Amino acid sequence: MPGVGDDATDEYAVARAGMVEHQLRRRGLRDRRVLEAMGRVPRHLFVPEAVRHVAYDDRPLPIADGQTISQPYIVAVMIELAGVTSRSRVLEIGTGSGYAAAVLAAVAGEVVSIERHPGLAAAARAALEATGVRNVAVFVGDGTRGFPDRAPFDAIIATAAGPRIPSSWAEQLVQGGRIVAPVERDDGHQELVRAVVSAGTVREEVALPVAFVPLIGADGFPDPPARRA
């Protein structure tokens, strides 16, 4: 991955180092491998050219199909909360740009990522390939069903907010496996939830308030989301 539009004098590398220091370290993120990955993955190569100059800003950015690439801080928090190690097999729901998958790939052993928009999945595959990421497989489909063909996973990370955590996700985890996902409550507010699955029970705790695009699918919100005026 190093060497792709990115050497020590590159303005993007400087912006990325600033992002890690100001947006991540100073906000309390401590997982060394997550910080290293965030310092290495060239986020500017996963965003549309029109917003490349602000790729390392402290915010989500628009990508195609009305979707977003998440704020860097949220990407790092989710991976840290999921307790991902170099041996982890991780399922990501919502590939989007492929950026979070690339960060995950640098921390985990293997990543499976599902995206419902075929165009986004194709662009993400191309960006992952261009940046030298080899241990991510991107599929097109409805991630609310999980991905039984490749289960079990050590962790599942969802980057779109549904009305609940689908039961199929818990069924596709190893004992002690973790789910990190935004959930939209009845009053419309969203919370990032961390769930740990063990001995047939799912223990959920709320990590922080968030704002994600909707999780659309069989066990998510309907398509089109007519409820959003």
Considering only 24-32, 142-150, 174-182, 193-201, which stretch makes contact with ligand SAM by CB under 6 A? Answer: 142-150
**Alpha-carbon span 109 to 24, nearest angstrom:** 23
Is 70 a binding residue for ligand SAM by CB under 6 A? The answer is yes
Q: What is the smallest separation between the CB atom of 8 and ligand SAM, expressed in angstroms?
A: 25
Closer to ligand SAM by Cβ: residue 139 or 199 = 139
- Respond yes or no: is residue 70 known to be catalytic: yes
Cα dihedral sign, 56-140-84-211: positive
Is 23 a binding residue for ligand SAM by CB under 6 A? The answer is no
Is 99 a binding residue for ligand SAM by CB under 6 A? The answer is yes
Closer to ligand SAM by Cβ: residue 42 or 143 = 143
Closer to ligand SAM by Cβ: residue 124 or 173 = 124
**Alpha-carbon span 161 to 166, nearest angstrom:** 11
Q: Tell me which of 16, 44, 117, 178 binds ligand SAM, using CB under 6 A.
A: 117
Backbone angles phi, psi at 166, to 5 degrees: -60, 140
How many residues touch ligand SAM (CB under 6 A)? Answer: 26
Nearest residue to 104 (alpha-carbon basis) of 126, 123, 120, 128? 128
Name the amino acid, one letter, at 100: A
**Alpha-carbon span 14 to 8, nearest angstrom:** 8
Contact 172, 149 (CB under 8 A): no
Considering only 3-11, 130-138, 178-186, 211-219, which stretch makes contact with ligand SAM by CB under 6 A? Answer: 211-219
Q: Which residues are catalytic?
A: 70
